[in-house]
Structure 1
Amino acid sequence: MHDIIYIRANFEPWWMFEGWQDQIISQQQFTLAENARNCLEELKKEFSQRFAENEQREVAFSCYWNEEEVEYCESCEEDLQIFHGLIWLFNGNPQTSF
């Protein structure tokens, strides 16, 4: 099963820190890799228009952000950058190639 996941968090998606699933905004499941890739490409195109900055790590991780989008962290007493991440999982693991 292929999952395309959108998270909004104060860390880049490739870190997948414990509890990262709590940051999921949406998740779509596909049986075929081609359908998952098409969905991911559409989301990447949309996010590229919405956010000024981006970084890609392998096929599995895409990260988007705008410098001015920060949220205050009470426990660390500072503003943290907010990242919008796309993650492609295959059978629960990051998809590393097509």
Structure 2
Amino acid sequence: MAKKLYVGNLSYNTSEESLRTLFSNFGNVASAKIVFDRETGNSKGFGFVEMSSDEEASAAIAGINGREFEGRQLRVNEAMDKPRRDRDDRGYGRW
């Protein structure tokens, strides 16, 4: 089963391809996604990588967390499984 990892403290110049390459040293990368600001299009400095198995995800965490990459010390851990809010539900008018 695939395991999703949070990757924080990314350089604003990091590409999804370089992130995929970094994590591929620890197993099969199902997906690599950097989060961008919708208004400016700039990286927010974090992203998510999905590894194909729990073992590969554990190896990636052990091998990359705290490691310097593109001038930044990365933070890698298991992503929290938080349900996304509907973008239209901003909570306005709900008391």
TM-score range, shorter chain: 0.3 to 0.5
Q: Give me the TM-score of the superposition, normalised by structure 2.
A: 0.34
**Of Structure 1 and Structure 2, which has the larger fraction of its residues in helix?**
1
